[in-house]
Amino acid sequence: MKQLGLSIPLFIKKPKVTRRQKFLEEMEQVISWAEWTNKLK
């Protein structure tokens, strides 16, 4: 039986999604940043 290495995709470390990043992604779905800045001008 071959030993599985830690290089298989299941063990690749993904960057943690921060609260700020999650919030910004949700806000982008509500109103895009480009649209928002155009309304301010």
Q: What is the pLDDT of residues 1-41, one digit of tens each?
A: 566 655 666 666 778 889 999 998 998 888 887 887 887 77
Query: At CA 36, angle to CA 24 and CA 19, rounded to 5?
Result: 10
In the prediction, which pLDDT does 37 show? 80
For position 27, what pLDDT does the model report? 87
**Residue 37 to residue 11: CA distance in whole angstroms:** 40
Determine the pLDDT at residue 6. 58
Question: CA 38 to CA 41: how far, in whole Å?
Answer: 5
